[in-house]
Structures are given as C-alpha cells and as structure tokens.
C-alpha cells in the first residue's frame, strides 16, 4: 500500500469536507445539542404528579392520609371530587396522573383492625409514569400505615416499636445517582454512529451516484488505498467530536472522569474504525444516497441508541432481542465509556469490549474491501 | 392545472417506487424500528442480578433475604460468605446489587429497635439503581409491618386483632399490566413518520437541485405551487401508508389494542404530517446537497423526538425546555396516538392537540412556501 497515494486521496477528501461548511457546522454542533438535550431534558424521576382524590368518608383519618400525599414532593393534590366518573374523566384527559379513592368505612376498618384498601388509579397509557406513581403512592401509604400502627401500639401500651428494618443504601460509581452521569458519557457513542456511518455512507454513495467513484477506480489506486484515504478525514472528525463530547461532559456537566485519556482514545479509535467501515460498506452496496440514509439509520443510529445499553439496560430487554445486541458495536463502546468515566481503569473489564471491537474492526474492513472488489469486477 | 398536477404526481411516484432499494427502504426500516422498540424498550426492572451476604445467620435474617430470593424482581446469583468478595463482584459487573446483613440484626429486631441492612448498588445505570432502591424499600417495609404484627401478636395477642392493616390497590387504566410496549409502539409510529417524511421530502427536492433537473422543471409551464404540491403530496401518502403498515403490524404482532376511532387518528396524522412536510420543504430550501439535507433533517428530528415525550416525560423537564416543546408537533401527535390506541377517546378530548398541530402545520407550510418561492427566483 502506497502511503503517498493514500494521503493524496485523504487530502482531496479533507478539502471536500472543509468546503462543505454547512455539513461541517452541523457535525460540530450536533454533539453539543445532543448533550444539552440529554443532559437537561432527560429526567426519569418525576415529581409533582397531579392527584385527584375521592374521599368517601371525609374523616380526620382520611384527611390525614390526603395531607400526606399533599406534603410529599412526588405529588400535588389538585382536586377533590365527589364521584368515580369524575376521576375517570380526569385521567382520560390528563388532568391528573393518579386518582386516590378512600372507602367510606376507612376509619371504622382501621379501628377494628379489618383490612382497609385504598384504591390508586393511574393512567396506564404512560406506563412508566404510572409505575413510578404507584411506587410513590405505596411509599406514602406505608408511611401513613406505620404512623397509625405506632399510635395504636402506644395506646395499647405495647413496648415501643420502631420501623423494624431500615435500608442504608450506598452507591458505587455514581454516588448521587444522577441521570446525567450515566447518560452524558454515552452520547459520544451515538454521535459517532451518526457521523461515522451516516455521513460517510452518504458522501461515498454520492460519489457512486455522480460517477466520480468510477473515475477513482480507473486510477492506479488500489481498493485499500481508496478506502483508507476516504475514511481518514472522517476518522479525524469523529475523534475531534469525541474530544468535544468528553470536554463538555467533564467541564460543563461535571461528570466525573476517573480513567485515563489514553484508554479512552484507543477505545474511541477502535469504535471509530468499526463505525466507518460500516458506513463504507453500506455505501458500496446501496450506491444511492436515499437508500444509504435509510439503511444507515436502521443499521447504525437506531442500534447505537436503543440496543447498546445507552437508553435501555440490556439485562432488562426481552430475552429474544438480547443476542442481537452482541453485534451492535456501540454496546462495547458504551461499556468502555462508562468504565473510563465512572469507574476508573478497570482493565479487566475493558479487555473484553476492547477485544470485541478490535475483531469487529478487522472483520468489517475486510468485508468492505471485499464488497468493493466485487463491484469493481 | 389539474392535468399538470396529475402528471407531476405520477412522475414523483414513479421516481419513488422504481428503485427496488427505495421500496425496501420504505417498508423494512419502519417495521424493524417497531420490532426493536417493542422488544428492547423497557423501563422496568426485573431479575436484577443480586448478591447477598448474611453475617447474622439468624432466622430473621434468613427470612428477610428469602423475600428477595423468591421475588421476580431480583435474581440472587451469589451467596457470599466474606465481605472481601464484594468489591470483586461489583468491579466485574457480575451483580448490580449487594445486600449485606451484619451480625446483630436479629438481636436488634427482638429488642424492638431498628435493624439496618446495607444495599450496595452499582450506580453506572442510575435509572435501574433508583428503581431498585424503590423495590428494596418496599420489601423492607412489608417485612417490617409483618414483623411488627407478629411480634405484637406474641406480646399482646388480644390487641393485635385490632392492629390497623392498610394496603394499596393499584388499578392501572387502559393498560392493566403496565406493559412498556403499549407505551412505546404507538409512539414509534410518530417518530417514524416524522423522520421518514422529513428526510424523504427534503431529499426529493434537493436531489433534483443537485442533479440539475429542478432548473429544468422551472423552465416548463409548471408553477412553483404545483412543484410544491408535487413534492409534498406523495410523501403525505407515503406517511399515511407507513401509519397503516406499522399500526396494523403493531396491533397484530404485539397485540396492542386499538380502542379509538380510525378517523380521529387519520385526522391527527394528516395534521401532523402537514408540519412534517413543511419542515422537510423548509430544509430543502436551505440545502444544496442531499447530505446537508440529511444532516439538517437529523438535526431537527433528534430534539423533536427527545422533547416530545416519546421516551422521557415532558412534565419532568425544566421549565425552559417544556416551553420549547409547544413548538414540537410530535408532542401533540403522541398524545393523539396514545389516546386513540389505548384510551379510546375522541375529538372531544383531543381537540386541543388537533388545533395545535393545525396551527404548527399552517405555520411551517407557509414559511416553507415563501422561502421556496424565493429560492426559485
């Protein structure tokens, strides 16, 4: 492989990229935008859920329970209604997210020691918020129940009882459990997938469309030189973007960075190679910008966002789809990112993903080269 | 004019469907996205890999831990005997949670005092960790309650009959099992439509500009209005086609219910698509190459999806971002989608969303048309 010729191709490519200022601008601004959105917009811990209540009894006891809901930071008691249908209607049009129904014999049952049931109606169409609402409601009710029980035991002159078991939690690696600490590092993987695969495949598909690729092929350049030469500028762009992502994560979002930059650089380089190879491969067999964009989306962007462990934890996915995540390169890169940011240098943890990415990189470059050869003939 | 319009539309459709790769790209990616979201998307926490270490070896400690072993939510993989083994496990990511009971647990409980239990969590996935903490607390509360009652029963058998027992009965409406899938798959239709219609529309115009055939069109008697209609109507139809495809596939494959009126959904889709088409057209006026169109389109669609309430609730976003979401047609369309699929409500509830989408649609189309005229002259 002749370095001089490869660099010539690379130079041409760099000029082309630099001249297209619009794409360049977008490529540089996109990571910032994604990070802002994800860093600030994503908050899975919902508070101030709106609550409607139907208190069929209206006794001091039931009022006390409702006061507990009101004083919880998770709920805001918005309205009291007089019938069930009003609750249904409010849930229907979103005026409330939780509806509490207190039975008419609430105090009586509490007093007699008969089991009391408080109903919690939630809007199941937003299953996530509904789950959280139920969880919080159970917490409020448990607190109320404990209070009532304690009062009962005191009045019966039972020896003092405290809540029996308390849970002391300690979190490793992300002590404050801030969403942003676990989301922001992963953004680099998604950004690179977009730049690496999508933009690359589009650029190269365009050359096929216009016929300039055939011109390249008719020169003495070998397939390998063309591939490497074309991908170099995108590689550098991608690494530059990664650097931006890391800088913003650490300096703006205060995400801890406990590992070494070298480890990150090597991991990013490997990932970048895979991602670029994929982009090139897509462009070779589609040769059409529209098809390349659609396929690139499904083959690179979506998996990197959804199947890599970035948004949804892999252990929680349906069993059938978990094997698929093994071929998503971003999965390995995200492990590297999270480890380097939050854990420090667990080399033992990093070995597996690094190896996987290396193998993947070699495989995909071979594949791209072979497809390229086939189409030349 | 009708005759010319007729011809333009025929030409556009031929363009679109002539290429088998384009046909493929219009059908397979939407279905794939639906499948991926249906199977991978979940915020639930089940089978959380757990390790337990019981240094008390009492009946109480065994009973307490038994509640975790027997729960679906936790999967106890390791029973440790020594504290030194903990660091290793978490470092190697073999477990996400370690429950630790120190000696003296049972003794404290029997004295009526609070006994602590340590929960060590891997915080790298903070969402899972937060939800897990909620579950752990629930188990602890239940255990405490039952222990109290049982203990009181031993000390004051007569009184415990009257000890208050209160519980929460959860009733999720519209989605009895709170399946994440029912929340995501209707939403996928919206994101899908947004992405595909915007990119297709933008590409269609920019491609002609790139190749030079747009100028040729301008030389013919075709008016700019006819060009615009010719470039948008086919994608409106493609969008509707995608809607039907994914809606039918979703209901059949995932058995997601459809309780509302198809006409309401159709109206909502048309209003939504008018905004998408407007944005696509607007983007096409700002770009000269397909690659730029794609980048810009992507640049718009990504925040549009993230701020729409698709994956993360709008309610928990900071005030500033929440205001921005009012400009996002997807935000309103998602409400329409989820309501017609799961809640079965009609226009009497959804009219605010329809009006909002109509306003946004008129706004974007007008802006796009004005700019389009300018770029043609």
Q: What is the DSSP string of B43-100?
A: ----SEEEEEEESS--HHHHHHHHHHHT-TTEEEEEEES-THHHHHHHHTTS-SEEEE
pLDDT value of position B360: 94
Name the closest residue on chain B to residue A132, using Cα atoms. Answer: B131
A83 touches chain B (CB under 8 A): no
Do residues B348 and B295 make contact, with C-beta atoms less than 8 angstroms apart? Answer: no
Residue pLDDT, tens place only, A168-193: 778 777 777 677 777 888 888 888 88
> Alpha carbon A105 to chain centroid distance?
46
Cβ pair B98, B52 in contact under 8 A? yes
Range with top average pLDDT, A16-20, A272-276, B43-47, B351-355: B351-355
pTM for the model stands at 0.84
A297 and B195 in contact by Cβ < 8 A?
yes
Largest CA distance in chain B: 98
Cβ atoms A118, B169 nearer than 8 A: yes
Q: Taking a contact as any Cβ pair under 8 Å apart, which residues of chain A between 42 and 81 contact chain B?
A: 42-49
Partners of A114 on chain B (C-beta within 8 Å) are: 165
Q: Do A122 and B173 touch (CB under 8 A)?
A: yes
* Chain B contact for A347 (CB, 8 A cutoff): no
pLDDT one-digit tens code per residue, B276-286: 999 999 998 88
* Separation between Cα atoms, residue A187 and residue A341, nearest integer Å: 12
Place of tokens 């005191």: A154
Sign of the CA dihedral B306, A23, A341, A348?
A: positive
Using 50 as the pLDDT threshold, list the residues of chain B that sit under it: none
Q: Which residues pair with B74 in a beta bridge?
A: B48
Pick from B124, B148, B343: which is nearest to A149 by CB?
A: B148
The β-bridge partners of A194 are: none
In the predicted model, what is the mean pLDDT of residues A143-167?
Answer: 73
What is the spatial distance between Cα B243 and Cα A240, in angstroms, rounded to a whole number? 39
Q: Which helix (H) or strand (E) holds A123?
A: strand A116-123
Rounded to whole angstroms, the Cα distance separating B61 from B132 reads: 20
Report whether A66 contacts A52 (CB < 8 A): no
CA distance B225 to chain A (A): 25
Distances (CA, A) of A98 to A49, A103, A117: 7, 16, 16
A107, A85 Cβ separation under 8 angstroms: no
Q: Taking residues A124-128, report their average pLDDT.
A: 83
A260 confidence band (pLDDT: 50, 70, 90): confident
pLDDT in tens, A217-239: 888 888 888 888 888 888 888 89
For chain A positions 348-367, those within 8 Å of chain B (CB to CB) are 348-349
Q: Is the pLDDT of residue A375 over 70?
A: no
DSSP letter at B115 equals: E
- Percent of chain A at pLDDT exceeding 70: 94
Is the minimum CB–CB distance between A129 and chain B shorter than 8 Å?
yes
Q: Is the distance from CB of B346 to CB of B259 less than 8 angstroms?
A: no
| Distance to chain B for A40, nearest Cα, Å | 7
Contact A165 B115 (CB under 8 A): yes
Q: What is the pLDDT of residue A45?
A: 65
Looking only at the bridges linking them, the beta strands covering A165-172 and B166-173 are unpaired
**Paired tokens of B266:** 């159709």
Smallest CA–CA separation between B196 and chain A, in Å? Answer: 8
**Interchain contact, A294 vs B29, CB within 8 Å:** yes
Count interface pairs A-B at CB distance under 8 A: 389
- Test B178 with A38 for CB contact under 8 angstroms: no
Residues A61-105: pLDDT tens digits?
Answer: 899 999 999 998 889 999 999 988 898 888 888 888 899 999 998
Q: Does A172 touch chain B (CB under 8 A)?
A: yes
Tokens of A78: 């918005």
Whether A142 contacts chain B with CB within 8 A: yes
DSSP summary character for residue B312:
S
The pLDDT value recorded for residue A193 is 85
In angstroms, what CA-CA distances link B183 with A65, A88, B37? 31, 19, 10
Q: Check CB contact of A88 with chain B, cutoff 8 Å.
A: yes
Sheet holding A75-80, edge to edge: A75-80, A49-55, A98-102, A116-123, B166-173
Tokens representing residue A195 in the block: 């730049």
State the best of B20, B164, B298, B311 to mutate against chain A, taking most chain A CBs within 10 Å: B164
Report the alpha-carbon distance of residue B104 to residue B332 in Å, rounded: 56
Q: Please report how many Cα atoms fall inside a 13 Å half-sphere around the Cα of residue A252, on the Cβ side.
A: 14
Q: What is the number of other CB atoms lying within 10 angstroms of the CB of residue A331?
A: 22
Please report the pLDDT score of residue B270 as a whole number.
95
Judged by DSSP in three states, B15 sits in: helix
Q: Which of B121, B182, B316 is opposite residue A172, by nearest beta carbon?
A: B121
Query: How close A54 gets to chain B, by Cα (Å)?
Result: 14
Alpha-carbon distances of B305 from A150, A296, B193, rounded to whole Å: 49, 18, 11
Q: Cα angle at B99 between B97 and B103, to 5 degrees?
A: 160
DSSP H helices in chain B: 2-18, 20-40, 59-69, 84-91, 105-110, 126-155, 157-160, 180-211, 213-219, 224-253, 262-286, 290-306, 319-324, 329-338, 347-376
CB pair distance less than 8 Å for B180 and A127: yes
A contacts of B50 (beta carbons < 8 Å): none
Of A126, A142, A156, Cβ closest to residue B141:
A142
Measure the CA–CA gap between A9 and A5, rounded to whole angstroms: 6
Considering only alpha carbons, which residue of chain B is nearest residue A297?
B29
User: Does A260 contact chain B (CB < 8 Å)?
Assistant: no
pLDDT score of A377 more than 60: no
State whether A153 and B203 contact (CB < 8 Å): no
Averaged pLDDT score across all residues of chain A: 83
Q: Is A147 on the interface with B (CB under 8 A)?
A: no
- The CA angle B50-B55-B56, to the nearest 5 degrees, is 115
Q: In angstroms, what separates the C-alpha of B257 from chain A's closest C-alpha? A: 11
Residue B169: its H or E element: strand B166-173
Compute the average pLDDT of residues A19-25. 76
CA distances from B74 to A172, A300, B35, B48, B179 (A): 19, 33, 27, 5, 19
In the predicted model, what is the mean pLDDT of residues A298-302? 80
Assess A236–B contact: CB distance below 8 Å, yes or no. Answer: no
Q: What is the tens place of the pLDDT at every residue in A312-368?
A: 888 788 777 888 888 888 889 998 888 888 877 667 778 888 888 888 888 888 888
């Amino acid at each position: 492989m002749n370095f001089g010729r490869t660099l010539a191709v690379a130079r041409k490519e760099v000029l082309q990229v630099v001249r297209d200022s619009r794409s360049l601008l977008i490529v540089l601004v996109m990571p910032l935008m994604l990070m802002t959105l994800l860093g600030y917009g994503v908050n899975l811990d919902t508070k101030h859920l709106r609550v409607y209540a139907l208190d069929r009894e209206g006794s001091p006891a039931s009022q006390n329970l409702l006061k507990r809901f009101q004083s919880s930071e998770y709920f805001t008691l918005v309205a009291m209604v007089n019938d069930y249908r009003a609750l249904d209607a409010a849930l229907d049009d979103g005026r409330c997210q939780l509806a509490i129904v207190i039975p008419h014999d609430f105090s009586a049952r509490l007093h007699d020691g008969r089991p009391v049931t408080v109903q919690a109606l939630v809007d199941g169409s937003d299953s996530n918020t509904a789950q959280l609402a139920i969880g919080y409601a159970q917490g409020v009710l448990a607190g109320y129940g404990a209070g009532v029980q304690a009062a009962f035991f005191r009045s019966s002159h039972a020896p003092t009882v405290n809540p029996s078991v308390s849970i002391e939690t300690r979190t490793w690696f992300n002590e404050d459990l801030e969403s942003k600490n676990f989301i922001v590092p992963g953004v680099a993987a998604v950004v690179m997938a977009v730049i690496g695969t999508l933009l690359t495949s589009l650029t190269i598909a365009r050359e096929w469309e216009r016929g300039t690729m055939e011109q390249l092929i008719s020169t003495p350049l070998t397939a390998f030189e063309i591939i490497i030469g074309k991908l170099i500028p995108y590689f550098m762009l991608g690494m530059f973007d990664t650097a931006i992502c890391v800088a913003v994560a650490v300096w703006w979002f205060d995400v801890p960075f406990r590992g070494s930059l070298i480890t990150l650089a090597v991991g990013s380089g490997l990932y970048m190679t895979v991602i670029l190879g994929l982009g090139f491969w897509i462009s070779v067999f589609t040769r059409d910008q529209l098809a390349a964009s659609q396929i690139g989306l499904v083959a690179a962007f979506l998996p990197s966002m959804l199947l890599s462990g970035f948004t949804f934890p892999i252990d929680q996915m349906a069993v059938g789809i978990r094997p698929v995540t093994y071929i998503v390169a971003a999965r390995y890169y995200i492990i590297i990112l999270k480890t380097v940011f939050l854990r420090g240098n667990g080399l033992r943890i990093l070995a597996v993903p690094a190896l996987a990415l290396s193998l993947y990189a070699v495989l995909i470059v071979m594949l791209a080269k072979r497809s390229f050869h086939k189409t030349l003939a | 004019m009708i005759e010319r319009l007729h011809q333009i539309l025929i030409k556009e459709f031929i363009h679109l469907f002539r290429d088998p790769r384009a046909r493929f790209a219009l059908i397979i990616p939407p279905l794939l996205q639906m499948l991926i979201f249906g199977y991978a998307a979940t915020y639930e926490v089940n089978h959380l890999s757990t390790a337990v270490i019981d240094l008390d070896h009492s009946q109480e400690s065994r009973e307490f831990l038994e509640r975790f072993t027997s729960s679906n939510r936790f999967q106890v993989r390791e029973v440790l005997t020594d504290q030194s083994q903990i660091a290793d496990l978490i470092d190697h990511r073999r477990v996400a949670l370690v429950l630790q009971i120190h000696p003296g647990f049972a003794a404290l409980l029997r004295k009526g005092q609070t006994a602590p239990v340590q929960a060590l969590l891997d915080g790298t996935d903070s969402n899972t960790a937060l939800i897990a903490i909620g579950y752990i607390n629930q188990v602890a509360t239940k255990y405490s309650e039952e222990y109290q009652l049982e203990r009181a029963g031993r000390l004051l058998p007569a009184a415990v009959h009257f000890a208050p027992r209160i519980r929460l009965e959860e009733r999720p409406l519209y989605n009895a099992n709170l399946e994440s899938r029912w929340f995501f798959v209707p939403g996928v239709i919206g994101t899908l439509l947004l992405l595909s219609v915007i990119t297709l529309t933008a590409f269609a115009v920019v491609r002609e500009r790139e190749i030079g055939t747009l100028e040729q069109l301008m030389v013919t008697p075709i008016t700019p209005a006819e060009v615009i209609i010719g470039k948008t109507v086919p994608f409106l139809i493609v969008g509707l086609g995608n809607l039907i495809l994914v809606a039918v596939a979703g209901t059949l494959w995932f058995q997601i219910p459809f309780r509302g009126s198809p006409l309401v959904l159709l109206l909502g889709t048309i209003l939504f698509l008018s905004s998408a088409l407007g944005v696509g057209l607007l983007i096409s006026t700002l770009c000269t190459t397909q690659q730029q169109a794609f980048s810009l389109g992507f640049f718009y669609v990504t925040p549009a999806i993230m701020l729409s309430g698709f994956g993360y609730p709008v309610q928990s976003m900071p005030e500033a971002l929440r205001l921005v979401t009012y400009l996002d047609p997807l935000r309103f369309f998602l409400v329409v989608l989820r309501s017609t699929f799961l809640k079965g409500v009609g226009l009497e509830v959804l009219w605010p969303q329809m009006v909002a989408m109509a306003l946004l649609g008129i706004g974007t189309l007008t802006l796009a048309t004005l700019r389009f005229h300018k770029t043609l002259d």
